[in-house]
Structure 1
Amino acid sequence: MSDRPWYESFAPPPALPARAWLDTDAPRLSLDGLWRFRYAGRADGPLDFIRPAFDDTGWERLPVPSHWQLHGYGAPAYTNISYPFPLDPPRVPDENPTGDHRHAFRLPEGWPPGGRAVLRLAGADSAARVWLNGVEVGWTSGSRLTSEFDVTEALRPGGDNVVAVRVVQWSAGSYLEDQDMWWLSGLFRGVDLLARPAGGVADVEVRADYDHHTGAGTLTVTAATGQAPARVRVPELGVDVAAGETVRLPRVEPWSAERPRLYDATVSTGAETVTLRIGFRTVRVVDGVLTANGRRLLFRGVNRHEFHPDRGRAVTEEDMREDVLLMKQHNINAVRTSHYPPHPRFLDLCDEYGLWVVDECDLETHGYGTVDWRGNPADDPRWRDALVDRMRRTVERDKNHPSVVLWSLGNESGSGRNLAAMAGWTRRRDPSRPLLYERDWTCRDVDVYSRMYLPVAEVEAIGRGEEAPLDDPALDARRRAMPFIHVEYAHAMGNGPGGLAEYQRLYERYPRLHGGFVWEWIDHGIRARTDDGREFFAYGGDFGEEVHDGNFVADGLLFPDRTSSPGLLDVKKVFEPVQIAGSGDGVAIANRYLDSGLSHLDFRWTLEDDGEVVARGTLAVGDVPAGESTVVRLPSLPATTGEAYVTVCAVLAADEPWAKAGHEVASTQLEVRQPATPRAVTTSPAPVPPRPEGGQLHAGPAVLDGRTGRLVRLGPWEVDGPRLQVWRAPTDNDRAPHGEALEPVWRGAGLDRLTHRVDEVAVTGTGVVVRTRVAPAAVDGALLATYAWTALAGDRLRLVVDIGVEGHVPGPLPMLGVVLGLPGELDQVEWFGRGPGEAYPDTGLATRVGRWFRTVGELQTPYLFPQENGRRAGVRWASVTAGRGGGVRVEGRAPFGLTVRPWTAEALDRAAHPTDLVADGHTWLTLDAGHNGIGSASCGPGVLPGYLLPAAPARLELELRVL
């Protein structure tokens, strides 16, 4: 007989059998609200608090749902892989933070005296022991899984009731919940008391299939009612049959993520009525292709953790709805519920608004990888029942959602016999949905082949059916016959991800490839404040954790406050379900929807000449069927004189539940006309000779230091530079905690500590030439930068910067350009080029050429960990001005990269949080001839070869003018 405590058990918890989460007219009493709370550092404290008469007036109050760490008890901790406790299952440390909860309630008037009563905990992290009125009713583990307890005998219908719950942070279940997120504890989902009337509906199962050949539907709704007869009614379809009877309907409208058609239904006995929303759809693997309603599925998906910066995983319905709406508005059509079943209301919203869902079991044992998977629960028979129980509770709760099209056994738990047991149980219970599990690379136990973070070339090989073979020929043949899902790719950590378009082209080209899920939806930064009250978002290590993974918890397309990152805008662009491209003198429009025509869209065009709108109109496209294309002629356009573009946008023609009419779904920009001569050299005015004076060189509006050649004044403005700039504050992808890192290569080459030497300042009859050598200590390779200044009539100044390479300079370089310090009062920027957002060689897919305006502050992207950001690409000209007027304008012979900051790249490099960045009184203007790409190496492949910046000669030809 074991003397281990209740929370150190391999066994599944002794709760009621799992069942669907039902919307019923039976009474429900929410126990959410302020509970009495006592915090302790150990789990073996006195159980005095379970007595109804216990005096808890000295306890604090804690909201339920919540995590106690976010209310000042203990502290959050973040790890990605490593467990924050020793691996010795099922034992956990004596130092086991524990929260004792008490809540008193009275039953409302009219609560039925007959039937049973059930106490439901929707989520308790990580294990909870429950009493009602001093009577123990059970315990639970499986933090993101529902637990129900029969409390009929303990309930006091006519008096006060006290529910007491002890929640421990560490339990045997913690070994199964190593899911790359904050370790946060408590009753973080709702607590309810449910009336279970005699003869009621205990459970319901819906099977609603769709025949895409005939348009017919087949409906079977079974109900667990004991001996009570139940009827199923779907008024819109004229269905009124006994539960369990199969109905064949000659015509139904199918459910899909694009057209989420739901039929309202009820299941009734004399004692209870359950309300359902039924969607007809059929998911099949046919000839190696994953289909829904007979059509190939293509997931344009994201992985979603539940998170809010103030409430952690205690998300509200408003949070969930905001997530769903933002996904729909950004062309996302699918969600993987990483790495646990979500709040059940989220799946209701996916049904209603239309998102394909991969529903994942509450399982991850990633930390066992650090010990070569010795003792991994996925293969340890002591854990078998617990793992199967977790899968059972996932499937039973969520089985009736049409949005759920695949079950996932879990995440990053190695392989083993217990996963096979989970798969076997699931296939027997629900053969209507395929199974997925990424770490089963042999695909022995699954129906879909899935991998994470593969390079583009390997994804293409899989698409062609040319992946490396397995050792077992039979398994190899089975896997090659499977569809493929890139279950995680494009790690959205910090600046990035880069290279999205290359993946999407493959997904759309090869029928075997069914798209994938970007990692991930939202940064898990916890809202915090500095000592002087400035707000920032905290990450791993900010709470004193001994073991943590830093800002790896901040890897989402949304910032923690649910504002969009540049990466989300790129995702929207690359996920466009309508592809618009130039085709001769017309526009080719390809419908990439699964089952929707284009009648719900209007197509609008705008003509801009040098960034100014000169004409606009609409295109008559018609209702192009799914999977087909058409070409539409553009109207005759008015003459233009500058750089002209037509932008064609597909927008919603009418309000949809998830966006208003006019919301942009897809767009493209087509070049109409380029100026006949380069922009900055339309004329060639005679140069104005420089004039030496008092150790300085005067060249038109410029004053240069005669010894160093440094520009010290431009018109009325004191300036500093320009100076060769190679360094960028490394991005998360440059640091690459789980990929091929460039940062140590760059630092090893000394690119962060370059020294500058002036070799010559030469005055010629037409200007000033400054030759410099730029190199780090201890190496013989260098960059040679030559600045040729020419003053032109009209108070203009030409600068040609030639950059050469001497000896061996390792590439790729972070960037290559010059930086110029302007007065800080010049804090407003207008430019003509790509915008309005940031762009690097492999990002900025959503940007367009146009005329844009931002303040210097607005040009900064507030990544949680400060890093390279804010670059605008393809800039033809830019003006940096003061609010009172006046400033500096820069034009380029060829488009250049523009970055404007109130601090240097070096200061950005030193910062750990945005609050560390303080404006230094300058506006630092960086003009670059090239930038290295971004990639996704923070977890995944690095920069694709075409986006690497070689250490090679480069030239910047610029013209400066004082405004």
Structure 2
Amino acid sequence: MRCNAMPVWYHENPAMLHVGVESRRNEYTPFAPGQDPFALKDESSRRILLNGVWDFDGYASLEDLPENWLAIRPRGSMPVPGNWELNGFGKPVYVNVRYPIPYDPPYVPVANPAGVYRRTFQADLSSGMRWLLNFEGVDSCFYVYINGQFLGYSQVTHNSSEFDATPLLRQGENEIMLLVLKWCDGTYLEDQDKWRMSGVIRDVFFLLRPEKRIDRYTVTTVPAGKGMDVHVRLEATAPVTLRLFAPDGTPLPEKTDARGESFFHVEEPLMWSAEKPHLYRLVMETDQERIGEKVGLRTVCIREGVLLVNGVPVKLRGVNRHESDPVTGACISREQALKELLLMKQHNINAIRTSHYPPAPEFLRLCDEVGFYVIDEADNESHGSVDASLTTDNNFDYSGISLLCNRPDYEAAIDDRIHGMVDRDINRPCVLFWSMGNESGYSVAFERSIRKLRAKDPTRLIHYESIHLLKGAPIPNDSADTLDMVSRMYPGLEEIRAYLKRPYETRPFFLCEYCHAMGNGPGDLEAYWQLIYSEPRLMGGCIWEWCDHGIQIGLTDSGEPMYAYGGDFDEPDHDGNFCVDGLVFPDRTPHGGLKEAKQVYRPVRVEQTGQDTFVLRNTRAFTAAQEDLFCRYEVTANGQTVLTGEVALCLPPLGEQAITLPDLAALTGENLFIRFIFTARQDTPWCSAGDVVCFDQLPLSPSLTLPAEPEHLPGPLTVEQTRKGITIAGEGFCHTIDPYTGLPAGMRFGQEQLLDAGMEYNVWRAPTDNDAGFRRSWERFHLQEVAPRVYDMAVTRDDRSVTVTSHASLAWLIHHPLLRMTTTVTVYANGAVAISIDGQVTPQRPALPRFGLRLMLPETFRRAEYTGYGPGDSYADKRRASWWGAFAEEIDQARENHIKPQESGSHTGCVALQVMNDHTAVRIHANAPFSFNFSRYTQEELTRKRHHWELRPSGHAVLCLDARHAGIGSNSCGPALDAAYQLTDQEWHARFCFEPIRLKEV
């Protein structure tokens, strides 16, 4: 359909989704005869790219658009692709669930920002080709004009629209103008958790096509005996020649079935999988053009509740991925996308959910080639309709999420988005599931679209998480046969176990979102995967999410990027840093969470079965470990290597290998660990030979043994007690005990003061994003402000030491004391100080973040040597990327510079620690394994500041020693922190001994 008249406005009419648009087709690029049809698409002479800088004018409201706007040349400029808000027009807005406009579908605000684009191009019409104008993505809708005449209208931000511009073209120079609107009726179906920005966000180009041509085609691969048949269903108006080539270039013969239809039969096929993405090459030719299609031979199905790819059980070790860049916004180039995929591959990720819209078409082709399983998701999300049910008592009914999808006037739009995605991506072998959208409730609109899709493409699985939100939707139950799996977001482990026990449910279970990676997280990955591997019906899941959505607004003085999040652009309504929730920073630098995921997603897992026997388990479905991995091991005692060796791998896909290491039986020593290290056997596009792919460390000792405190010999000590404190002096040292805390206020060793301020009891940590579930209760009880109250102090002594015993509490205004404590500080004749704390938590108090001491050391203390989990930071439930050993680090080396400051940099499981400057060390002993954090920043500073670039060093070396430190979890959006990692004990005990050591004279 084509219209030459000035249109009425269509953008508030759900019945007019597309005007003048060609019928949907699968994505491909035609090439001229003689060209390589598998070259990069920009090399095709039949593809005329219109990307670049266009003339542009922005209007705050469509109402401000001049009546003769088509005759006015815009005075500004705008990149295509490009977001307005990152290029001088408007400001980014970040909201998650809430709509950025009033909920009044299909209407949008009258003050609807509009952008007018213009550029010229040359057209040679002498060949008689049709000029098909393609837009791969425009947010949110657009009207297009050629030479002043209306060509058409379209919407759906993340899908393609194609127009036949031929009748409006003239020989030579032509003009194209676009009117892009920020909001339209489709905005209510695009309420994804992302920055709300507008513009032409993907490629714009002409395809030059002959009158008689291939319009669309579908490639289907089906098992046939021991081989595979490749069927090509064509819609063409010209004779077509088909040729299929194996991955090595061998041509395969074309055959004809009993109905006279052509197909190809492949004996002994090389099957496509994410591990081995073999691609055959299909060439389709007419006398005027060539099209190349890379074909993956693969099957996907559910059998007895288990996901099978090519008949083999597969687990999806996935991530959710938005299209986001700190500089280019929603505009992602092929090079950017490839960089992401190689980084994912490097970290053992094999699956991607395209949350929550179809990606740029080139991304899926890269997934075919690099090897990923894809959950391709339709551009449907109406999460904000939940808020439409908000009542005066501030409650809402979550069934409101189905308000929009139950409207008859939106049924066609929902269907259009689902089938537009399917029609575009139908030939991509990487796509295992079609996902109907995200958080949009459920209704007959989805039901009908799904059943239509089932008939259109029976070769793939269908996914939709929101089906369980059925209240108010006329669908019988969540066991409806429309979907192939049950999908949930952020279920706890017990919810998953309960699902597996349902007698009426046989489908597999998929975690479409789990383990929220916001900030310092996620902290509970390993527990999920131990369960996933134990249950065949658990398909795996996709971590939320891949990347932080920060927008770069500058550089610090040291050259680090400064990233903004919600509220940094003076938005009246926003969701803060909830968009900063990825495994990688906006520039794709890995967070600690990605390193943790790499280990949890490791391709080989090791289990100890006896004193010197182990079982290696291959978690991959199609790759024997010995094909691409070497294995070596190292045994350490107290962190020092005492034995090394190699393992000859013979580990088939999904198989096991039992090994015996007889040399282990003769080993003696404390804190014995064995670490199996798997390295790449050869170079790949994402790693070099010798790179560590994964490791597994196992304890050989039954428990950790702590080094004994040094022997404390008798010696002369003096004690002076005043109102200002208790001073204890000996040969070469002088320490002072604060009467208001019962802890050391000063420690002088030789001529050096080891404390810049008095020691403190420490129960506070700068809340992580995943502490969301605890933070309110912590702040309600003022954990960040509790101060000690000493009730009494007593001094005792013997020939080796002086001991100060105090009874105290930690409290703040209003509340009963948080803790009541008995503390003993013992000063020995050699200058060592031992502190023992016995504490009792008052009932009905929140779980603590930590329990221990804080020391403000002089800032000359810059180095820590420790024996525990390193070299990166580690916590009780987030330590798989670390291993137990002996390490050294500079101050803040383990601290991660999170966009929003928070707790990081801790080391758990420590048995020894020494902090030092150039001439003095303080060696620290404890009565049980402990955690420590060594930083220039205080918890107060990290708590107070909104951005990392605002942080100011304290002027001290801040040492936090924790007898216990809570886990991390993923409670920013996920379930509560597992009880095993919460600090809910009523009674606490800690002992630390500080031993000053002279390294050299000052």
User: TM-score band, normalised by the shorter chain?
Assistant: over 0.9
**1:586–1:632 Cα contact (<8 Å) kept:** yes
The structure-2 alpha-carbon separation of the partners of 1:365 and 1:334, relative to structure 1 and needing over 3 Å to count, comes to same
Please give the alpha-carbon distance, in whole angstroms, between the structure 2 residues aligned to 1:294 and 1:489: 27
Matched, 1:433 2:460: yes
Matched, 1:303 2:320: yes
**2:372–2:430 Cα contact (<8 Å) kept:** yes
Matched, 1:774 2:810: yes
Which residue, 53, 61, 72 being the options, matches 1:34? Answer: 53
Please name the residue that 2:190 is paired with: 177
Classify the secondary structure of the residue corresponding to 1:767.
Answer: strand
Please name the residue that 1:651 is paired with: 679
Amino acid at match of 2:863: Q
TM (norm. structure 2) is 0.89
The structure-2 alpha-carbon separation of the partners of 1:4 and 1:697, relative to structure 1 and needing over 3 Å to count, comes to farther
Shift of 1:117: 0.8
Amino acid at match of 1:905: Q
Matched, 1:344 2:361: yes
Shift of 1:733: 2.0
Amino acid at match of 2:319: V
How do 1:364-375 and structure 2 match up within 5 A?
A: 364-372=381-389, 373=400
Which residue, 489, 513, 516 being the options, matches 1:488? Answer: 513
**2:122–2:173 Cα contact (<8 Å) kept:** yes
Unaligned stretches of 5+ residues in structure 2: 1-5, 33-45, 390-399, 469-477
How do 1:10-25 and structure 2 match up within 5 A?
A: 10=14, 11-14=16-19, 15-25=21-31
Amino acid at match of 2:495: E
The structure-2 alpha-carbon separation of the partners of 1:129 and 1:782, relative to structure 1 and needing over 3 Å to count, comes to closer
Classify the secondary structure of the residue corresponding to 1:769.
Answer: strand
Which residue, 9, 14, 17 being the options, matches 2:13? Answer: 9
Please give the alpha-carbon distance, in whole angstroms, between the structure 2 residues aligned to 1:676 and 1:438: 44
Matched, 1:275 2:292: yes
Please give the alpha-carbon distance, in whole angstroms, between the structure 2 residues aligned to 1:718 and 1:603: 46
Please name the residue that 1:731 is paired with: 768
Matched, 1:764 2:796: yes
Amino acid at match of 1:437: Y
Please name the residue that 1:191 is paired with: 204
How do 1:839-858 and structure 2 match up within 5 A?
A: 839-858=874-893
Please give the alpha-carbon distance, in whole angstroms, between the structure 2 residues aligned to 1:572 and 1:64: 36
Please give the alpha-carbon distance, in whole angstroms, between the structure 1 residues aligned to 2:705 and 2:91: 63
How do 1:449-848 and structure 2 match up within 5 A?
A: 449-465=486-502, 477=504, 480-529=505-554, 535-584=561-610, 585-599=612-626, 600-622=628-650, 624-634=651-661, 636=663, 643-672=671-700, 678-681=706-709, 684-688=711-715, 690-692=717-719, 696-698=727-729, 701-705=733-737, 707-708=739-740, 709-715=743-749, 716-719=752-755, 720-735=757-772, 741-765=773-797, 766-771=801-806, 772-792=808-828, 795=830, 797-805=832-840, 807-808=842-843, 810-848=845-883
Shift of 1:644: 3.7
Matched, 1:216 2:227: yes
Could you give the per-residue CA deviations for residues 575-628 of structure 1, whole angstroms, max 9, x where no partner exists? 112111223203310111112211221101123343344443311122x22222
Q: Which moved more, 1:784-793 or 1:405-414?
A: 784-793
Shift of 1:673: 5.3
Could you give the per-residue CA deviations for residues 89-146 of structure 1, whole angstroms, max 9, x where no partner exists? 11111221111111222248xx862221111111100011111222221111000111
**2:821–2:839 Cα contact (<8 Å) kept:** yes
Please name the residue that 2:943 is paired with: 909
Please give the alpha-carbon distance, in whole angstroms, between the structure 2 residues aligned to 1:264 and 1:946: 53
Please name the residue that 2:894 is paired with: 859
How do 1:216-235 and structure 2 match up within 5 A?
A: 216-234=227-245
**1:210–1:293 Cα contact (<8 Å) kept:** no
Please give the alpha-carbon distance, in whole angstroms, between the structure 2 residues aligned to 1:850 and 1:574: 20
Please name the residue that 2:115 is paired with: 99
Amino acid at match of 1:221: V
Matched, 1:961 2:986: no
Please give the alpha-carbon distance, in whole angstroms, between the structure 2 residues aligned to 1:123 and 1:154: 22
**1:874–1:895 Cα contact (<8 Å) kept:** yes
Please name the residue that 1:447 is paired with: 484
Please name the residue that 2:283 is paired with: 266
**2:244–2:280 Cα contact (<8 Å) kept:** no
Matched, 1:948 2:985: no
User: CA-atom RMSD, angstroms?
Assistant: 2.4
Please name the residue that 1:386 is paired with: 413
Please name the residue that 2:92 is paired with: 76
**1:279–1:402 Cα contact (<8 Å) kept:** yes
Classify the secondary structure of the residue corresponding to 2:893.
Answer: helix
Shift of 1:790: 3.6
Please give the alpha-carbon distance, in whole angstroms, between the structure 1 residues aligned to 2:969 and 2:738: 43
Please give the alpha-carbon distance, in whole angstroms, between the structure 2 residues aligned to 1:817 and 1:166: 62
The structure-2 alpha-carbon separation of the partners of 1:163 and 1:604, relative to structure 1 and needing over 3 Å to count, comes to same
Shift of 1:855: 2.4
**1:781–1:808 Cα contact (<8 Å) kept:** no
Amino acid at match of 2:573: V
Could you give the per-residue CA deviations for residues 393-425 of structure 1, whole angstroms, max 9, x where no partner exists? 101111111110000000000111111122122
The structure-2 alpha-carbon separation of the partners of 1:782 and 1:131, relative to structure 1 and needing over 3 Å to count, comes to closer
Which residue, 125, 128, 141 being the options, matches 2:142? Answer: 128
Please give the alpha-carbon distance, in whole angstroms, between the structure 2 residues aligned to 1:176 and 1:572: 34
Shift of 1:806: 6.0
Please name the residue that 1:473 is paired with: none
Q: Which moved more, 1:930-939 or 1:117-126?
A: 930-939
Shift of 1:792: 4.4
Shift of 1:530: 8.4
Aligned residues: 932
TM (norm. structure 1) is 0.93
Q: Which moved more, 1:699-708 or 1:380-389?
A: 699-708
Amino acid at match of 2:119: H
**1:181–1:553 Cα contact (<8 Å) kept:** yes
The structure-2 alpha-carbon separation of the partners of 1:777 and 1:282, relative to structure 1 and needing over 3 Å to count, comes to same
Please give the alpha-carbon distance, in whole angstroms, between the structure 2 residues aligned to 1:199 and 1:309: 44
Please give the alpha-carbon distance, in whole angstroms, between the structure 1 residues aligned to 2:922 and 2:278: 57
Classify the secondary structure of the residue corresponding to 2:943.
Answer: helix
Please give the alpha-carbon distance, in whole angstroms, between the structure 2 residues aligned to 1:664 and 1:592: 17
**1:702–1:797 Cα contact (<8 Å) kept:** no
The structure-2 alpha-carbon separation of the partners of 1:680 and 1:102, relative to structure 1 and needing over 3 Å to count, comes to farther
Please give the alpha-carbon distance, in whole angstroms, between the structure 1 residues aligned to 2:371 and 2:115: 38
Unaligned stretches of 5+ residues in structure 1: 467-476, 736-740
**1:50–1:133 Cα contact (<8 Å) kept:** no
Classify the secondary structure of the residue corresponding to 2:214.
Answer: coil
The structure-2 alpha-carbon separation of the partners of 1:676 and 1:354, relative to structure 1 and needing over 3 Å to count, comes to closer
Could you give the per-residue CA deviations for residues 532-560 of structure 1, whole angstroms, max 9, x where no partner exists? 89842111111111111111111111111
Please give the alpha-carbon distance, in whole angstroms, between the structure 2 residues aligned to 1:174 and 1:65: 20
Could you give the per-residue CA deviations for residues 65-109 of structure 1, whole angstroms, max 9, x where no partner exists? 11010112110001111111111111111221111111222248x
**2:244–2:264 Cα contact (<8 Å) kept:** no
Shift of 1:311: 1.1
Amino acid at match of 2:810: V
Please name the residue that 1:415 is paired with: 442
The structure-2 alpha-carbon separation of the partners of 1:224 and 1:947, relative to structure 1 and needing over 3 Å to count, comes to same
Please give the alpha-carbon distance, in whole angstroms, between the structure 1 residues aligned to 2:855 and 2:872: 22
Classify the secondary structure of the residue corresponding to 2:419.
Answer: helix
